Amino acid sequence: MYRLLRVKDIVRIPPKMFTLDPKEAAKIVLREAYEGIYNKDEGVVLAVLEVHEISEGVIIPGDGATYHDVVFDVLVWKPEMHEVVEGEVIDVVPYGAFIRIGPMDGLVHISQLMDDYVVFDEKNAQFVGKEKGHVLKLGDVVRARIIAISEKSKIIRENKVGLTMRQPGLGKFDWIEKEKRKAESGG
């Protein structure tokens, strides 16, 4: 889920940035410090958007930089349990498919790909449902539901998101549309 947050912090502006507007200098420093970091409570910080307030600087003896209280906005994304997400298949491996969902990747285990007996076709790098004939391959756009979140680190790629596509309304968009037409026609 995407959210906008207003944050208060202290920013250190080094002497080489004293010629810049203080808000602009603070924004540059905050972007380096915050963007791309995963916070367990708030999620992934995607962008520092705007610095609203910046106080007069304080100089600490022995350090030529100035320290300022700042208030700024950040755009964050946090995976939520049972949230329905959409994304693209970016990798297929014998045990499942990796889906790009916003700034993170989620794994759909082979047992959660579809409500069918699924076989991995290694030669063509795709999954095939034996009964319905559904095919899932690189580049397909899908809808999935988050069923597991493992938050271990501030580094985005070290955190894991588990997905499922077995329930009605989930899966590759072609499959969803086909099921919808089938239900409408009464077949």
Same domain, 144 and 168: yes
Judge if 176 and 103 occupy the same domain: yes
Q: Report DSSP state, residue 37.
A: B
d(CA 59, CA 91): 50
The reported pLDDT for the residue numbered 136 is: 95
**Per-residue confidence (pLDDT) for residue 1, from 0 to 100:** 85
Counted domains in the chain: 2
| Judgement on whether residues 117 and 67 belong to the same structural domain of the protein | no
User: Which residue's structure tokens are 């790629």?
Assistant: 157
Position 187 scores a pLDDT of: 60
97 shares a domain with 23: no
Listed residues 13, 42, 77: the one ending a domain: 77
Q: Exposed, middle or buried: residue 151 (CB in 10 Å: 0-12, 13-18, 19+)?
A: middle
Please indicate, yes or no, whether residues 114 and 174 belong to a single structural domain of this protein: yes
> CATH number of the domain that 27 lies in?
3.30.1490.120
18 sits in the region (left: phi over 0; alpha: psi -120 to 50; else beta) called: alpha
- Considering the domain architecture, whether residues 121 and 61 belong to the same structural domain is answered as no
Q: For residue 159, what is the DSSP state?
A: S
Q: Report how far residue 171's alpha carbon sits from residue 145's, in angstroms, rounded to the nearest whole number.
A: 9
Token output for 3? 């959210």
Q: Which of 77, 107, 136 is the last residue of a domain?
A: 77
Residue 27: the pLDDT is 97
pLDDT the model gives residue 127: 95
Mark whether 128 and 110 lie in a shared domain. Answer: yes
13 and 56 housed in the same domain: yes
Amino acid in the structure at residue 116: D
Distance (Å, whole) CA 32 – CA 108:
32
Instruction: Tell me the residue range of the domain where 12 lies.
Output: 2-77
| Residues 69 and 8 reside in one and the same domain | yes
Rounded distance between C-alpha atoms, residue 172 and residue 143, angstroms: 6
Q: What is the pLDDT along the chain (187 residues), one digit of tens a residue?
A: 899 999 999 999 999 999 999 999 999 999 999 998 888 889 899 999 999 999 999 999 999 999 999 999 999 999 999 999 999 999 999 999 999 998 889 999 999 999 889 999 999 999 999 998 899 999 999 999 999 999 888 877 788 999 999 998 999 999 989 888 888 887 6
CA dist 169 and 54 (Å) reads 48
Q: Are residues 25 and 69 in the same domain?
A: yes
**In a shared domain, residues 51 and 97:** no
pTM of the model: 0.79
Residues 94 and 126 in one domain: yes
